[in-house]
């Protein structure tokens, strides 16, 4: 079946611009996660959705970052006033389970470059 998909696969933007990154989870998966992976590092948690609501947004670095999941399926990560330090691969994962034991299926990521 179809896995987690993310669009665009690559995004180049200028410093100060606004960007949106999209995640389509596996159909039926209620939990959705966003992570950010900088070069040479492991993924870093950003936010977790259970259904439509953000259950844990403790990883969002500041108020320039915001994510939504209005219908409990597709999610969009929004970054305002981008900075060069935002350059990274943004990963999305989804899971069937509501708790910590659900296997997370990762998408291919969106590589964001801020020039």
Cβ at position 1, least distance to other proteins in Å: 14
Would you call 84 helix, strand, or coil by DSSP? helix
Question: How many whole angstroms separate alpha carbon 80 and alpha carbon 101?
Answer: 33
Q: 44 phi and psi, to 5 degrees?
A: -120, 125
- Decide: 89 and 34 in contact? Cβ < 8 Å: no
Cβ 97 to other proteins shortest distance, Å? 7
C-beta closer to other proteins: residue 14 or 100: 100
d(CA 70, CA 23): 12
**Closest distance of CB 63 from other proteins, Å:** 20
Q: Which is nearer to other proteins, 91 or 112 (CB)?
A: 91
Cβ proximity to other proteins, 56 vs 83, nearer residue: 56
Q: Are the CB atoms for 44 and 36 separated by under 8 Å?
A: yes
- In angstroms, rounded to a whole number, what is the distance separating the alpha carbons of residues 63 and 108? 25
Residue 4 vs 82, nearer CB to other proteins: 4
Name the residues that contact other proteins, by CB under 8 A. 3-4, 31, 33, 35, 40-45, 48, 50, 55-56, 58-59, 91, 93, 95, 97, 99-104, 106-109
Least distance to other proteins from the beta carbon of 77, Å?
Answer: 16
């Amino acid at each position: 079946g179809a896995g987690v998909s993310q669009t665009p696969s690559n995004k180049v933007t200028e410093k100060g611009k606004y960007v949106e990154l999209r995640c389509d989870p596996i159909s039926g998966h209620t939990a959705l996660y966003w992570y950010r992976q900088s070069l040479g590092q492991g993924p870093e948690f950003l936010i977790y959705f259970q259904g439509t609501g953000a259950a844990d947004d403790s990883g969002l670095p500041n108020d320039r970052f915001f994510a939504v999941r209005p219908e409990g399926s597709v999610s969009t990560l929004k970054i305002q006033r981008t900075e060069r330090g935002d350059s990274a691969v943004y990963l999305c994962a989804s899971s069937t389970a509501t708790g910590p034991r659900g296997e997370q299926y990762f998408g291919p990521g969106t590589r964001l470059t801020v020039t």
